[in-house]
A = this chain, B = another copy of it.
Amino acid sequence: MESNIKDVARLANVSISTVSRVMNMPEKVAIETRVKVQEAMKELNYTPNALARGLIYKRTKSLGVLIPDISNMFYSEMLHGMEHAAQRHHYNLILCNTDNNKARMLESLNMLKEKQIDGLVFTSEPVYPDYYEVFKKLQIPIVLAATHSLEFDIPSVKVNDEQASFDAAECLIKHGHRRIGMICGSITDNVTAMPRLQGFLRALRVHDLETDVDSQVQFGGYKFEDGYEAMGQLLRKFPDITAVFASSDERALGAISYLHEHGKSVPEDISVIGFDNLRLAQMSIPKLTTVGQPLYQIGYLAVEKLDHLIQNEHVGELRTYVRHELVERQSVARR
């Protein structure tokens, strides 16, 4: 039932070369032959086979995307941007969810290589040296999205986390807060969590506030439940707190939830500022003040950068830093 170029050629009474030409350089074939062939293609419901094409062109117009957890809005917004850029540049996206699991990641990478992807976008997670080894073996253009590597020269696009956190903290300070806690990511993550911590501390220092990481900062996961948990810890260790910087929106909502359940109202008693500006930041009560990263744009630019790499065009800067933006809503109050 599936028809190939041969069937078309036979039906149109031409050679397969001619059929191929009709598809790729139609101006090179006589007008009558052309329509004859096109009619045959239509009649047979013919579609060219991208596998055969890819074999010859050594190019598949497919990109691999490695994502730790697609159901996380953080990644899905980025993915959305990637998908649009991919459509624009005629790529397909092959999606691999890694669950932050190294074995699964390597497996996916292997599968992607076998499928001859033209390029790869790697999201979040730092690039550990052994990852870099694998990347090198892949022999494929790679772009990092929402992460970067200072050790290795891999193109990347992300926000300036240190500065963004600085701005978040400064926002709280400018609203008159002096006793500020932070809910931070894992201490082992120095591509995202550490810069954010540093930005936070810098803001405190710049404004002559004392800093005490031990009591003031709570480390943990990025999820709602982690934020909830962390808020509890923080309140115990640092009771006279008036504001909290939660370095992800989910954590922020978790914190707010904890505060709400423990009779503190936001922002009247305690102000909370988040990080990311996911769609859910507008949906909470109170609406969340947060420092936004343009996730859609990060995804979009990552794919465009990858395309440049693939086309061997100039890549622009190796490490692109996109603008963050302070989004003031209702979870931060003047004090």
Verify B116–A49 contact, CB threshold 8 A. yes
Residues of chain B contacted by A48 (CB below 8 angstroms): 114
Question: How many angstroms between the C-alpha atoms of A260 and B285 in the bound complex?
Answer: 8
Verify A139–B95 contact, CB threshold 8 A. no
Residues of chain B contacted by A97 (CB below 8 angstroms): 80, 83-84, 87
A229 to chain B, nearest CB (A): 14
Q: Which of B49, B71, B77, B284 is the one whose CB lies under 8 Å from A279? A: B71
Closest Cβ neighbor of A99 among chain B residues: B84
Q: Which of B45, B50, B93, B116 is the one whose CB lies under 8 Å from A95? A: B93
How many of chain A's residues have a CB under 8 angstroms from any CB in B? Answer: 57
Instruction: From A48, A52, A115, name the one whose CB has the most chain B CB atoms within 10 angstroms.
Output: A115
A268 to chain B, nearest CB (A): 14
Is A15 close to B, CB under 8 A? Answer: no
Verify B47–A114 contact, CB threshold 8 A. yes
Q: Which of B2, B70, B71, B296 is the one whose CB lies under 8 Å from A139? A: B2
Residues of chain B contacted by A287 (CB below 8 angstroms): 257
Q: A52-B55, A111-B92, A115-B50 are in contact. Are A283 and B254 (CB under 8 A)?
A: yes
Q: Which of B69, B80, B115, B250 is the one whose CB lies under 8 Å from A62? A: B115
Residues of chain B contacted by A110 (CB below 8 angstroms): 47
Verify B284–A94 contact, CB threshold 8 A. no
Taken residue by residue from 159 to 171, chain A's Cβ proximity to chain B (1 for < 8 Å, 0 otherwise) reads as 0000000000000
Is A180 close to B, CB under 8 A? Answer: no
Closest Cβ neighbor of A71 among chain B residues: B80
Is A96 close to B, CB under 8 A? Answer: yes
User: How many copies of the shown chain assemble into the complex?
Assistant: 2
A206 to chain B, nearest CB (A): 33
Is A60 close to B, CB under 8 A? Answer: yes
Is A29 close to B, CB under 8 A? Answer: no
A234 to chain B, nearest CB (A): 19
Verify B94–A62 contact, CB threshold 8 A. yes
Residues of chain B contacted by A283 (CB below 8 angstroms): 224, 250, 253-254, 257, 280, 284
Taken residue by residue from 267 to 286, chain A's Cβ proximity to chain B (1 for < 8 Å, 0 otherwise) reads as 00000000000011011110
Is A113 close to B, CB under 8 A? Answer: yes
Residues of chain B contacted by A285 (CB below 8 angstroms): 256-257, 260, 284-285
Residues of chain B contacted by A104 (CB below 8 angstroms): 87
Question: How many angstroms between the C-alpha atoms of A114 and B48 in the bound complex?
Answer: 6
Instruction: From A93, A139, A287, name the one whose CB has the most chain B CB atoms within 10 angstroms.
Output: A93
Residues of A within 8 A of B (CB): 1-2, 45, 47-52, 54-55, 60, 62, 65, 69-73, 76-77, 79-80, 83-84, 87, 92-97, 104, 110-116, 137, 139, 224, 250, 253-254, 256-257, 260, 279-280, 282-285, 287, 296
